[in-house]
Amino acid sequence: MTAAPKNDAAKNDTAPSLDALRTTLDGRWADVRQDVRSRMGSFRPASPDLSTEDYRARVLELVRELARTGRPHTGFAEEYGGKGDVGGVVVAFQALGYGDLSLLVKAGVQWGLFGGAVQVLGTSRHHDEYLRRIMDGELLGCFAMTETGHGSDVQHLRTTATYDPATREFVIDTPEPGARKDYIGNAARDGRMAVVFAQLVTGGTSHGVHAFLTPIRDDAGAPMPGIDIGDCGHKAGLNGVDNGRLTFDHVRVPREALLNRFADVAEDGTYSSSIDNENRRFFTMLGTLVRGRISVAGGAGSAAQKALAIAIRYGERRRQFSDPATGEEVVVLDYRAHQRKLLPALATTYALQFAQDDLVSQMHRLQSPGAGPVDEAAQRDLENRAAGLKAVGTWHATATIQTCREACGGAGYLSENLIPQLKADTDVFTTFEGDNTVLLQLVGKGIIADYGKRVGALGPLGTVRFAGAQVLGSVVERTGVNKLPSRLPGRGFAPRDRAQQRRLITDRAEHLLAGVARRLRPALKKGADQFGIFNAAQDHMLAAARAHVDALVLESFVDAIDRVADPAVKALLDTVCDLHALAVIERDRAWFLEHGRLTAAESRAVTGAVNDLCAELRPHARLLVDAFGIPEGWLACPILEDRAPTEADSEPVPSLVG
């Protein structure tokens, strides 16, 4: 991989056209994004004054209208009326994040989680009976995984599904209060069926967690016998989504209710699986459900883009204090402090967009209908990348939206100006579809396992050299004397040298990984306190995982720039990439100083370069947010208007169809 060549187009006022920049940012699925814009360009988010019941009813109506557009169908197999475009449908859901995030989440539950589970965990007997009804929005469903006592620890869920060979049925039961299914989208009001994750028991033996299609309401909407349905009630955000609780009291479902792509139970109760190892089977099954996690990362990215579009547009309008030289009030985006708030966040938002697109492409390649048998190694890599990007992306969205709120002052605190709802609706993104801290642990374990394989493959001489490098690194940690160059031979330190940026960020990731692997090595000894050793190094593992994701995100951005043909677009994105990379280095410059990768003078040079880049990108800030292509109807709010609100601002939501 080669670094993007530098040119000076962005250093003068030569800016790319909006269309050219937007086309680059839209990427592979530009037609999908444009289709969503054209269908929903006039859609307005729900009023925060709606009651919970009215809000839920409105979002359900929009889900049904969305189904009639046919857009959700595209991710399913062609034989059921779809197009097999798994990546395209995730991109379409991501675009819904510009509008109402309750609609995005409810649509994601219906077609991504519920429909996706039926598609990837089921077989033809499930596909033939249910997929078309799910695609059409006729059969509304839930994804019943999380329990009150077990959220992230899915492998130890307590709900049971015990096979009864006399009746050829599974008996699904909630054995204790902690096994209640909790926070289940679509459960409180609209869902008619759930994919229930439970421990499969047959012949007195548990075979681990499997998924079962379970009706939860009859056609009239009443709970099915043995099923107790509760309502999670009003939440801090996403109140258009009817989150509920499910409890099962010996509920019987037919043997065929088991989603049996990876395992099955014969009529006599004999269990069989194409994957003998229970752990491998569990993680293979879970890995196929990665689509929801990727969709959450994308939705968070859309919300961050929308907040930045509002804050930067407002920053170009809002004036505060006078310039002594002219006597005129200055727009706040011309202040360095304001640029510092918004422009590094904008640069990282661009970086995450390109990383998200790479992730969606990887998922599309592995999970499209007809992709063939599961490639376990590729699937693990996809799951690790999805976990890391979801964690980093949703944390970034939370921090960015808060920054945008502050950048808009008191106006940003008013619900009519949209940012408060973005804050409320995305807050939970950091903990649903996987708690971010747990997800980074997953990333950490994955990269440590890969690291062990790489070291083991070095051979005796390579291992000796590697060990020597680790000793040298330890000397740097203890003494602060830098023996590991942060720059290429023969070059001085240049903050805007892309090769040096990549070297610093990659070296940090590799050093942290080697360090945590060294700390965990004693856990391999017989009789070692494995939990104690792991727990003591947990903070180190999380830092290594975060650094690993930072390196992946930067590589995605660099690769994207390499593919750009338009010189003006390339130059502008090159400058944005500089700001992103240096903001990452500046954020952790204490580490680079402590570990001898930067001198004090070089650390100050990084900060100076960030300041310079903010000034350089200031004239392009509006272009950069306009390139997201957020329909104006989704940005309409008083903070961006020159006129007072009129009755037209409260017109009914237009149809999504036609």
- Positions annotated as catalytic residues are 433
Cα of 305 vs its chain's centroid, Å = 14
Kind of pairing, strands 251-254 and 141-144?
unpaired
**Distance in angstroms (rounded) separating the CA atoms of residues 358 and 385:** 10
User: In degrees to the nearest 10, what's the CA dihedral of 591, 597, 602, 605?
Assistant: -60
End-to-end Cα spacing for the chain: 45
Pairing of strands 193-202, 160-164: parallel
Residue spans of beta strands (DSSP E) within 410-451: none
Which DSSP string do the residues of 513-577 spell out, in sequence order?
A: HHHHHHHHGGGGSTT--HHHHHHHTHHHHHHHHHHHHHHHHHHHHHHHHHT---HHHHHHHHHHH
Give the span between the Cα atoms of 382 and 283, in whole angstroms.
12
Are 613 and 501 in contact by the 8 Å Cβ rule? The answer is no
H-assigned helices in 111-199 = 115-121, 124-126, 132-135
Single-letter amino acid code for the residue at 552: L
The answer to whether the beta carbons of residues 98 and 305 sit under 8 Å apart is yes
**657 vs 386: CA distance, rounded Å:** 32
Give the residue carrying structure tokens 């499997």.
210
Q: Which amino acid is at 295?
A: S
User: What whole-number distance in Å separates Cα of residue 132 and Cα of residue 428?
Assistant: 31
Tokens found for residue 652: 């009914």
| Token couple for 285 | 């099954």
| Lookup: tokens for 311 | 């804050």
Largest CA distance in the chain: 91
- Residue 489, class by beta-carbon neighbours within 10 Å (0-12 exposed, 13-18 middle, 19+ buried)? exposed
Could you give the CA distance from residue 624 to residue 333 in angstroms, rounded to a whole number? 14
Backbone φ, ψ for residue 481 (5° rounding): -85, 120
- Read off φ and ψ for residue 47, nearest 5 degrees: -70, 135
Taking a C-beta distance cutoff of 8 angstroms, is the pair 280, 239 a contact?
no
